[in-house]
Amino acid sequence: MSDDLNAELQGRLALAFPEGGPNGGMAGRGIVTCAGGVRLFTCAYVLVRILRETLACRLPIQLWHFGGEEISPLMRALLLRHEVELVDATAVLEAFPADIRDGWQLKAYAVAHSRFAEVLFLDADQTPVRDPEFLFETPQYRRARALFWPDIVDLAADNPIWTWVGLAGETCRSWESGQFLVDKREHWAPLQVALLLNERAEAVYGMLYGDKDTFLIAWRLAGAAVEVAPHRPFTDHRVLVQRDFEGGPLFQHRTNSKWSYHSTQYQLDGFVHMEACLGFLEALRAVWNGRLFFPPDRTLAARREEERLERVRGLRLILVADDELELELLEGHQIGGGRSVDRQNWYVVETVQGLKLILHDGDQVTYRLAAGQLGAWRGARLVSPANEARIDEGLAGHEPSHAGDAGQLGGLLHALVDAGGYWARNAPQSRERLISALRLFLQAEPGLRVGLQALGERSADLRAVVDEVLGAFAAEQIRPLDKAVAIGVLGAGYRIPEGGGS
């Protein structure tokens, strides 16, 4: 062992639990996991939902990751719904520097710098069989304040790691680090040694398989108390099933068969909670396309329009001379119904020409459409086969998202309704003119019937106007009126949307 390594190891071994702890203090119990990027996020999402919903685990959960580029705003939002606290390790590293760059190295650092005094660490690809909170009350943990589980292999006496750290070699069961429980107040020094060994990953990982036995070596160096589960795990070539102290299955660690967003899942006979896990994966696919996506900076007006479009149901994407389909613009810039290779994400930008609706394939802009009148967006598909495209709100009897938010309506309907509220209160003749105009308008745009009903809630006067307008069509279906006729009646205040009057 080099003098420098020896000095640093001795320095770490002399460390005591800091008064108040780093990051403003550590207290309580919690679960820590590390996950970033599509692959591990998918696993972490299933783990969190199994803990929260299937097992009713109420322990607080921290998920650590490296930088904002590993977790998109939507991914963050999906975890926050299940009371997960996200921690960006790059920010913590600014305050508490350490030479770590990958997920294996991050484990010891995340445990040490988490806000919890007592930590249950779980790899993201774990599926616990039951709520693991009981482990904090087991005699084994209460006695040693540190619990680890064995791996399926041994650490050999002739492994060079022993000499490298200045210990006598011994053959012993390896520790598997997919799960462990530690009271940092009792084991601050060995935890810091484990962190040091992971900082030296370039040398250490060549002697050990990743991070797992860095904890064994650290506890040996510190001479610290520990309890290791007495039973080897049940083994499968793709899943490691760790056992409780009575020998029953407890942690199902999918070491070589991580949950996949895109592929078929590996199914192990007897795997507990398999149906629940598959259900959570399907739920994830319904709201997320399995990609990291970060929209550009947008103005407040563009963001407000995005919020409005998220509430629209019945959007129709029309590719002129090609296809017509229903489109769902979901929160988090995801596309639900209508998702395809060239339609993965969406957002709105504000330009000098007005608002533009952008559809994206994850790598490039594939559709660009401009806001027109009456919930119409006109533009083009920009990738092959390029052609004219439009998106219409509220077609085929679906409800546009104007309900309860008339102030966001644009074009003629906005003007008529705002003016109509004044007319209805003050001028009976103007009230009749408004009713006539709205009847013509509804014939021109029958799909806005539900939106018009919602507008009546702005006032009692306006509700009476809307009821009278809709009452004219109670006995028969609304017959579409040629828009040119409607324009001629309503006057020059109406402009045919870009792309024509169809």
For 262-295, the three-class secondary structure string (H helix, E strand, C coil) is CCCCCCCCCCCCHHHHHHHHHHHHHHCCCCCCCC
CB 178 within 8 A of CB 172: no
Whole-prediction pTM value?
0.77
| pLDDT on residue 117 | 96
Nearest 5°: phi and psi at 450? -65, -40
Nearest to 118 by CA among 206, 160, 59: 59
Beta strand pairing call for 376-381 and 387-392: antiparallel
Cα separation, 449 vs 458, whole angstroms: 16
CB 380 within 8 A of CB 366: no
Q: Is 77 exposed, middle or buried (0-12, 13-18, 19+ CB in 10 A)?
A: middle
| pLDDT on residue 300 | 93
Enter the DSSP assignment of 388.
E
Nearest to 35 by CA among 96, 122, 100: 122
Strands of the sheet with 323-327, listed across from one edge: 323-327, 315-319, 387-392, 376-381, 365-371, 354-360, 345-351, 334-335, 329-330
| pLDDT on residue 209 | 85
Q: What is the pLDDT of residues 249-268, one digit of tens each?
A: 999 999 999 999 999 999 99
Q: What is the pLDDT of residues 440-497, one digit of tens each?
A: 767 665 556 656 666 666 567 777 888 888 887 664 555 554 444 444 444 433 333 3
Cα separation, 339 vs 61, whole angstroms: 32
How many Cα atoms within 13 Å fall on the side-chain side of residue 487?
Answer: 11
How many Cα atoms within 13 Å fall on the side-chain side of residue 223?
Answer: 3
Give me the residues of the chain with pLDDT under 70, please: 19-24, 394-430, 441, 443-459, 473-502
Beta strand pairing call for 146-155 and 126-128: unpaired
Q: How far is CA 422 from the centre of its chain?
A: 46
| pLDDT on residue 287 | 94
Cα separation, 485 vs 117, whole angstroms: 74
Q: How many CB atoms lie within 10 A of CB 85?
A: 15
| pLDDT on residue 161 | 96
